[in-house]
A = this chain, B = another copy of it.
Amino acid sequence: MTENIIKSLKKRDSRTISRCISLVENQEPSYLEFLSSIFPYTGNSYRIGITGAPGSGKSTLTDQLIKIILEQNLSVAVIAIDPSSPFNGGAILGDRVRFVNDFKNKNTFFRSMSTRGAQGGLAVSTKLVADIFDACNFDIIIFETVGVGQVEIDVIEAVDTVVVTLVPESGDDIQMMKGGLMEIADLYAINKSDRQGADRLYTSLNKTLELNEYSDWSPDIIKTIATNSKGIDLLYKSIMRHKDFLGKSKVGLRKLNQRYIKTVKSFISNFLIDEFWSNKIDNHIKKELNLDYNKRISPYEMANTLLKK
């Protein structure tokens, strides 16, 4: 049975892929066994994160990258993370899904994910879905995320190459640079680079990077105009240059190991918490709720009391 599923995944049968994603997202009964069964077939896809402020053209950039990847006869799956849609299934991306799936071959697959679908948390679900794509032997998996909230950071830390997209003359970008994006970026795309201020942004970013020479890797800065397909080939080359670097420097292996450890830890956390709450201790809290708020024992004391039981 599982063998058949794995075969279908390897053929990138889109119905099988969708069914497996639902299984994992909804944490259906057998999802953990399923994940275990595909695990031996994972670890091969190259994972790229595209992140940056809203409006910086991440989705257009991603679409252009898809084209270049397909031209190399490589396959690519895209996970668009949309935490801003907590309550619906990311349906706003409908048009996009149609566009990307228009390539009409089995070398590409597009999936948007929002908080709502993700039972065990969006960051965890995203990574598990990536493992499904990994088992499908997609050469590349792109994670496209808006901004850098906690979920995005959790996701981004687990990819191989992080591309940060910036736009000239956007105060947001400067803030994001100052705010720490520089420490997760493996390379930069200055998108909409036909706009005024592109050169200035390039120069200032370049200067800042020179000051930050703390690692063996020096990030490229690529000027792109995604809507005109300009600079995308350079962007792709730069990503591949980083891939080579990872392979040679063992940073890549470290990333892979961190991903493994994090997944183990998140499973353990969920198991511990599920087990604890399945015991009937909620009545104890309910009694306390009948008291006026500030007559209750503090949440910390309540937690201790419950743990001692």
| Total copies of this chain within the assembly | 2
Chain B proximity of A43: nearest CB distance (Å): 4
- The answer to whether A88 and B180 have CB atoms under 8 Å apart is yes
- A273 cross-chain contacts in B, Cβ below 8 A: 268-269, 272
- The answer to whether A264 and B293 have CB atoms under 8 Å apart is no
Task: Map CB proximity to B onto A33-57 as digits: 1 under 8 Å, 0 otherwise.
Answer: 1011001111110000000011100
- A residues bordering B, Cβ < 8 Å? 32-33, 35-36, 39-44, 53-55, 82-88, 90-92, 114-116, 121-123, 146-153, 172, 175-176, 178-181, 183-184, 256-257, 260-261, 263-265, 267-269, 271-273, 276-277, 285, 288-289, 293-304, 306-307
Chain B proximity of A157: nearest CB distance (Å): 10
- Report the separation of the CA atoms of residues A264 and B285 in the bound assembly, to the nearest whole angstrom: 9
Contact partner of A149 (CB less than 8 A), chosen from B83, B90, B294, is B83
- The answer to whether A116 and B84 have CB atoms under 8 Å apart is no
- The answer to whether A179 and B264 have CB atoms under 8 Å apart is no
- Report the separation of the CA atoms of residues A87 and B175 in the bound assembly, to the nearest whole angstrom: 12
- The answer to whether A83 and B307 have CB atoms under 8 Å apart is no
- The answer to whether A151 and B150 have CB atoms under 8 Å apart is yes
Chain B proximity of A255: nearest CB distance (Å): 11
